[in-house]
Structure 1
């Protein structure tokens, strides 16, 4: 009795043995390390935005899927490298059981590694996110695609007698997915599990499920065709994949729509113009308001101003001015902080001065000097002195133009508060109506 109990304790299920020892855990660690390096190198462009983090994680499929296929291929060729293939054919277990005992642990470890990396990325974003919510819709389909790549790669590793099969498969997968990723035409590009998405794109509710069936179906069909005697059993997952693929192709661009939150604005109406930011970054409104506080304070009482600064793509409406864009992350905004509030304020002043399609009509030397004076008054910059010094060291034409600019700045600064408000009101009226000839002189 004691011997029987001891034997039961010593008997370890093959799946457990493969899962805790051998190559499978290393495959999962390789995915975590690879994603960690990729995400760390690009952290400035995603850390601080939930949508940006989700897009970065999904777009990394271009690397993860080929890596997963190579891992499965290497695991599949293990018995050939050990010269134990013939020995395994004498085992009592069915070929499918033996295949899954070797392939499933690697697939699960790769998916687990990807899930761990995604969790770490979400944790890294959480302290810096200023609105929105985590976007997780694409993650399950991405995990299925990576696990399916391991199974398909395992079949290739069993079938192709070469140590070069794994690296060649990874290279072919990377090139193939890359070509599909850069394709801009044809609905077939939507079959790509690494289809690049933007940070404002949201999939329809069934797209991740259809993509999971599309990627898992061919892998399951390949496994069944390789391991079972009745090859017709592979037709069922292949038919499911075909149906899912047809649905993805027929829907095409309709698979994606704009995030409704990206179209919403959150505004501070206590100042004029009002300051509005995208609802995705609603928590940044106090920071943006503080950056523009010097401008709004000086514009108090000025007439003919736009109703608001708005933060959305495209041309602003007639009564609006474009707020400097917070996206893409990594430029004006990094990890939830404005990188240069002074430059941000100067760009906001520029949007008050030039609106719509008036730029070409306003490239007049006199008007540009007036614009410079307004810019220097509303949002002075330390860089301006360096630019002035460069002109002072230039030829006579540059020095003469510099003297005119300095004189215009001095005249605007020397005005009384009431006189300056009236002048700025006339200036904003001329600028807003695109009539440079009516810009008041300085």
Structure 2
């Protein structure tokens, strides 16, 4: 078919589409690489977040904290931005790839008018894919978070940045319409984001990749608008340079100025993650000794308190118990408080996933036994027996560091402790713990 025939057929197809109410924008949004790029971004971000959520030792418990959810979603722009860039580059090079550049240039529609629908698809679909993934992750976190509000503005800012990378890819595809442009631009986007994030100084704040977010942080209000200004400015400038006429290309200065303003706010505004005093406020139960966790882990309190009940019952009436057991990362403790390790060490998704570790640390934190003493045979036997009795160890656990004879002797002492009357057990434990604080357990008689 001649070029004139192709042109006539193309014009006829466009007229039919317009008659059906499907303009070029609608056609582009329904076809091309846009929907596929959105699906790939949605799957990659969602699966990466799911992998972190199911691994309690992955270094972040994002479903229990809005700040960690926002921080990890920001890090995963490392996935969405390269995919958006590659899809945009493939979309931008479409005219050259289909050998229609000269043909379309001869139509009445100018370059800007022809390019805008394809650009909208290259920028909008990746942003929608990222936002859909962020929505799923926030809905999942809603099941577990016990403090604060979702940082939705941060997700919108990251989606804007993803769209900007799609625009950069589109511009590159138009400038260098080659098959290698898409993969090379994707690698370049990944390297740019990663290298910027791991530089020292203010430039690191230009990247959304940040591994320092913790549950006790909140995001400064100005960070998302500044990131959106930077992203929209860079993307807008790239688009103007790619599709505007030679006479209008200097207009790229306007979005570049917006990018400079956004970049200036990010680099000069200080660390956008600020300590949140409300997140580290204490919530406590009403038992003795009281258990206090930070508000961001408040959802753990009922379960943690219930797991401590057997320990509390065994030590009831023993002198020297602390007034409170406090989750105290970096906190100055009041007199009578004993510090517990951060809840992240024994919990995931605001649920305790290592109950023995938690109870063991609570028992150790009570400070009833002085460590570093020189113990004789009787003291070692009593210490082992009391520890196993408090923690309710079976013979297998007792024998982890002991031979069969030591296990048998330890179990005999445990049985004797259990055989005491409540008053007799309280009196013997009082004598034992008094001696244990003075490194004099060898003087304590067997129960």
Q: One fold, TM greater than 0.5?
A: yes
Whole-angstrom distance in 2 between the partners of 1:99 and 1:439? 87
> Is 2:382 the partner of 1:377?
no
> Is 2:161 the partner of 1:161?
no
In structure 2, the CA distance between the partners of 1:326 and 1:156, relative to structure 1 (3 Å rule), is same
Matches within 5 A, 1:227-266: 227-228=243-244, 229=246, 230-253=248-271, 255-266=272-283
Task: Specify the alignment match of 1:320 in structure 2.
Answer: 337
Whole-angstrom distance in 1 between the partners of 2:264 and 2:118? 32
> Is 2:49 the partner of 1:39?
yes
Kept after mapping to 2: 8 A contact 1:220/1:237: yes
Whole-angstrom distance in 1 between the partners of 2:163 and 2:393? 54
CA distances 1:396-421 after superposition (whole Å, capped 9, x unpaired): xxx56x56655654564455433443
Task: Specify the alignment match of 2:220 in structure 1.
Answer: 204
Whole-angstrom distance in 2 between the partners of 1:418 and 1:250? 66
- Following superposition, the deviation at residue 105 of structure 1 comes to 1.6
Q: Secondary structure at the match of 2:50?
A: helix
Task: Specify the alignment match of 1:417 in structure 2.
Answer: 422
Task: Specify the alignment match of 1:191 in structure 2.
Answer: 206
- Following superposition, the deviation at residue 58 of structure 1 comes to 2.2
Task: Specify the alignment match of 2:57 in structure 1.
Answer: none
Task: Specify the alignment match of 2:68 in structure 1.
Answer: 52
Whole-angstrom distance in 2 between the partners of 1:118 and 1:7? 34
- Following superposition, the deviation at residue 274 of structure 1 comes to 0.2
Deviates more, 1:28-37 or 1:224-233: 224-233
> Is 2:405 the partner of 1:391?
no
Whole-angstrom distance in 1 between the partners of 2:193 and 2:328? 32
Deviates more, 1:233-242 or 1:277-286: 277-286
Kept after mapping to 1: 8 A contact 2:75/2:211: yes
TM-score (norm 1): 0.84
- Following superposition, the deviation at residue 10 of structure 1 comes to 3.1
- Following superposition, the deviation at residue 191 of structure 1 comes to 0.8
State the Cα RMSD in Å: 3.0
Whole-angstrom distance in 1 between the partners of 2:103 and 2:433? 87
Whole-angstrom distance in 1 between the partners of 2:336 and 2:126? 53
- Following superposition, the deviation at residue 206 of structure 1 comes to 0.8
- Following superposition, the deviation at residue 133 of structure 1 comes to 3.6
CA distances 1:61-88 after superposition (whole Å, capped 9, x unpaired): 1211111111111111111111112222
The partner residue of 1:27 within 37, 44, 52 is 37
Task: Specify the alignment match of 2:131 in structure 1.
Answer: 115
Matches within 5 A, 1:96-135: 96-135=112-151
Task: Specify the alignment match of 1:9 in structure 2.
Answer: 19
- Following superposition, the deviation at residue 197 of structure 1 comes to 4.6
- Following superposition, the deviation at residue 373 of structure 1 comes to 3.2
Task: Specify the alignment match of 1:396 in structure 2.
Answer: none
- Following superposition, the deviation at residue 242 of structure 1 comes to 1.4
The partner residue of 2:318 within 297, 302, 305 is 302
CA distances 1:227-253 after superposition (whole Å, capped 9, x unpaired): 222332111211221122122212232
TM-score (norm 2): 0.83
Kept after mapping to 2: 8 A contact 1:132/1:281: no
- Following superposition, the deviation at residue 437 of structure 1 comes to 5.5
Kept after mapping to 2: 8 A contact 1:25/1:106: no
Whole-angstrom distance in 1 between the partners of 2:63 and 2:136? 11
Task: Specify the alignment match of 1:88 in structure 2.
Answer: 104
Kept after mapping to 2: 8 A contact 1:46/1:53: yes
Kept after mapping to 1: 8 A contact 2:197/2:205: no
Kept after mapping to 2: 8 A contact 1:28/1:106: no
Whole-angstrom distance in 2 between the partners of 1:137 and 1:427? 58
Kept after mapping to 1: 8 A contact 2:167/2:235: yes
Task: Specify the alignment match of 1:18 in structure 2.
Answer: 28
Matches within 5 A, 1:61-80: 61-80=77-96
Whole-angstrom distance in 1 between the partners of 2:232 and 2:374? 59
